Structure 1
Amino acid sequence: MLNVDSAPPVPGLDAFNAQGAEEAEAGLLACCASRVFAREVAALRPYRDLDRLAEVAEAVVLGLDWSGVREALAAHPRIGEPPREGSPAAGSEPSGDRERPSGKHSGRPPERHPAREAAWSRGEQAGVDTAGREVLDRLAEGNRAYERRFGHVYLICATGLSAGEMLARLTERLGNDEDTERDVVRTELAKITRLRLAKLLGAAP
């Protein structure tokens, strides 16, 4: 009998569960470029379904200390600007070809895939593609004002948002105090991470 409560199968979940630690962490870094996040989420495999993986990932993101959040933010382009395809997250370095024994970790930083991250960022920010010059200029000005105020890039889960909506939320968030804004940033990072996990495992286009 079919279990109607079971989650639909996710194409890449079994492979993700079976990967060596470094390979799994490399994929996770494309979803959230914090090494602590990647290490903790990879270490808790296997996951029974995507929902459980997403729940764990969200909890880890929300529990990151601020240095971990800043590391993740460094991989995100400014809203309205092209992704930086060649820029690794802070502290990561090329690792080259190597054996990846299943379930073991060599101690080297996992290899990231910035081209994949850049492609995802372009898709997530598709709302700026049709924006007029005035809105783009105001976004650029808002980005600068935000970075002066908070010291890091303006992060928003941009999927499905127009450039005008991104700008309106940026303007609203400029009124936050630092603690409030850090909570908002963690929440937005968790949303982005959840969407990217589905892409990583082939459960989303």
Structure 2
Amino acid sequence: MTSSTTPGGLARFNSLEEHAASAALHEVCASSVWGSALLAGRPYATAAGLFAASDAAMAQLTTADLEEAMAGHPPIGRPKPGDPTSSREQRGMAGASDDLKAEMLELNLAYQEKFGHVFLICATGRTGEQMRDAVKERIGNTPEQEGENVRAELGKINRIRLGHLVQEDQA
């Protein structure tokens, strides 16, 4: 498929200079290994090809790579100030009661103490209660089980963010 028949958002991503594409990918996922793998695969003929490359790169990330990726994610209930992406993704916590927010803070801290990193979940479309229930369920996991959960959730987040990156209507 040539760039003239590639959807506009994807063609724009494919044509970015390497440093700009790298910066855009870093906004999607903070793992430098993941970003380098996606850069190396350009140009992508389809969004599905980009998503497949993301999934393949995600599957290859080491524990250290996953830790680097997680460092780019704020705790649930505390999106980064001025970051529209984390605010959009965590919209389900925006209208949560003070009690639920306090409970989420306690659960986040307990989870982080147990696993050594933030609780990571694809929060898009989830309510505050659903996120609370998920952390309550997952805090009982082994580190190995939780590592696989983190990898799967990060993969979902990356797909959503990549979709936004290659949308047609971006300038």
Counterpart check, 1:124 vs 2:100: no
Q: Post-superposition shift, 1:15? A: 1.7
Counterpart check, 1:29 vs 2:26: yes
Counterpart check, 1:140 vs 2:132: no
Counterpart check, 1:49 vs 2:46: yes
Q: Post-superposition shift, 1:10? A: 3.3
- 4+ residue segments displaced more than 3 Å: none
CA contact (8 A) 2:6 2:45 kept: no
Q: Post-superposition shift, 1:62? A: 2.2
Deviates more, 1:195-204 or 1:172-181: 195-204
Q: Percent identity?
A: 37
Letter in 2 for 1:34: S
Bigger proportion of residues as helix? 2
Distance 1:131 1:195 in 2: 23
TM-score (norm 1): 0.77
RMSD: 1.7
Distance 1:131 1:175 in 2: 24
Question: 5+ residue gaps in structure 1?
Answer: 1-7, 86-117
Give per-residue Cα distances to partners, 1:151-205, cap 9 Å, x unaligned: 0000000000000000000000001000010000000000000000011112589
Counterpart check, 1:183 vs 2:141: no
Distance 2:108 2:79 in 1: 14
SS of residue paired to 1:80:
coil
Distance 1:41 1:199 in 2: 16
CA contact (8 A) 1:77 1:84 kept: no
Larger radius of gyration: 1
Pair 1:160–1:203, CA change in 2 (3 A): farther
Distance 1:167 1:44 in 2: 37
Letter in 2 for 1:54: F
Letter in 2 for 1:147: Q
Counterpart of 1:38 (choices 35, 40, 43) is: 35
Give per-residue Cα distances to partners, 1:108-152, cap 9 Å, x unaligned: xxxxxxxxxx21110000000111111111100000000000000
Counterpart check, 1:155 vs 2:152: no
TM-score (norm 2): 0.92
**Number of matched residues?**
166
